Structure formats: C-alpha cells, structure tokens
C-alpha cells in the first residue's frame, strides 16, 4: 500500500485526485505495474489508477488475464474500475479508504463480488485506510 500511496502523491502533484494503484504478481511480492489517476493530465475519463495499472500489468505479462495477481489501490474502486477488475480476472483487490459515494467493492455497490458474474476477486479493505483517506481529504481541502 505504501507504493500505491507514493503513486497517489504523483497524481496530486499533477493536479489529479490522489489515487494510486499497483498490481502484484502471483508471488505477492513482485510489482508488475503501477498507476495513478491521470484524468486531468490526459483528458481521458477512463484514466483511473486501477485501469492504468491493469493495462500496464497486462502489457508486462503479454496476457489480459491477471489470474493470481493482486491489485492494491488507495481508494475503493468505482464501478468502472470494479468492472475492469472482474474482466481482468485479478484474484485479489486490496484497498485503503472506503468510498461511500462511489465505491463498488462493498460500500455503495459490490460489483466485484456479485454472484451473477463469472469471476469474483477476494476483497481486503482498510489497509492504511487513515493514510489513504488523509491524502484525499488534504487534496480536496486545498482545492
């Protein structure tokens, strides 16, 4: 999560909402990719940290299926990102701060564990939650 927090700091430095993500290989230690929000920098509404990290991990592996991989992200994924996590077949999602307004991994919705879908990653929430939430709170307070 500390690596994801560092990525989130890069997003804030670029004027974007400070969310960062990393994808870990099946061994749980090797970082395949990292990403941070780049919507403002690129003008791309899909440039969320999770989507960018998933794309980069798939490129690194040469495979769209991220079976065995873990995505670590500072903020609970939104519906778009939750859908991308299901589609990419990640095994595990670890997130820091809950997003009660737009979260789709257990708070507002639970897309990633919807029994109607063909893949349901494990979800671990609240890792360094206070640190992750503080980064977001400080960012929006300064705006």
Domain count for the chain: 1
Mean pLDDT within 123-141: 97
**pLDDT recorded at residue 11:** 98
The pLDDT assigned to 91 comes to 98
Q: Identify whether 50 is a catalytic site residue.
A: yes
| Cα 29 to Cα 45: distance, rounded to the nearest angstrom | 30
DSSP state of 30: S
Contacts of 129 (CB under 8 A, 6+ apart): 96, 97, 98
* Domain presence at residue 89: yes
In a domain, 143, yes or no: no
For residue 143, pLDDT over 90 is answered with: no
Q: Is residue 142 part of a domain?
A: no
Where residue 18 sits, what CATH number does that domain have? Answer: 3.40.140.10
27 in a structural domain:
yes
* Structural domain harbouring 127: 1-136
β-bridge mates for residue 110, sequence order? 105
In a domain, 25, yes or no: yes
In a domain, 52, yes or no: yes
Please report, rounded to a whole number, the percentage of residues in the chain having pLDDT higher than 70. 100
Question: Which residues make up each annotated binding site?
Answer: 48, 78, 81
Q: What is the pLDDT of residues 60-115, one digit of tens each?
A: 999 999 999 999 999 999 999 999 999 999 999 999 999 999 999 999 999 999 99
Q: Give the residue numbers of the binding site for Zn(2+).
A: 48, 78, 81
**Mean pLDDT rounded to a whole number for the chain:** 97
Q: To the nearest whole percent, how much of the chain has pLDDT over 90?
A: 98
Q: Is residue 141 part of a domain?
A: no
Instruction: List the catalytic residue out of 7, 50, 60, 122.
Output: 50
Report residue 108: phi and psi, to 5°. Answer: -80, -50
- The confidence score (pLDDT) of residue 58 equals 98
């Amino acid at each position: 999560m500390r690596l994801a927090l560092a990525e989130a700091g890069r997003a804030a430095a670029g004027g974007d909402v400070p969310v960062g993500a990393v994808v870990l290989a099946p061994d749980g230690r090797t970082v395949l990719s990292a990403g941070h929000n780049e919507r403002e920098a690129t003008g791309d509404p899909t440039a969320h940290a999770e989507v960018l990290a998933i794309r980069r991990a798939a490129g690194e592996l040469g495979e769209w299926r991220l079976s065995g991989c873990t995505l670590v992200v500072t903020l609970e994924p939104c519906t778009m990102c939750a859908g991308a996590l299901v589609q990419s077949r990640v095994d595990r999602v670890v997130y820091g701060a809950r997003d009660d307004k737009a979260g789709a991994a257990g708070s507002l919705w639970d897309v990633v564990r919807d029994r109607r879908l063909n893949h349901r990653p494990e979800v671990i929430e609240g890792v360094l939650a206070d640190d992750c939430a503080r980064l977001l709170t400080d960012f929006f307070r300064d705006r």
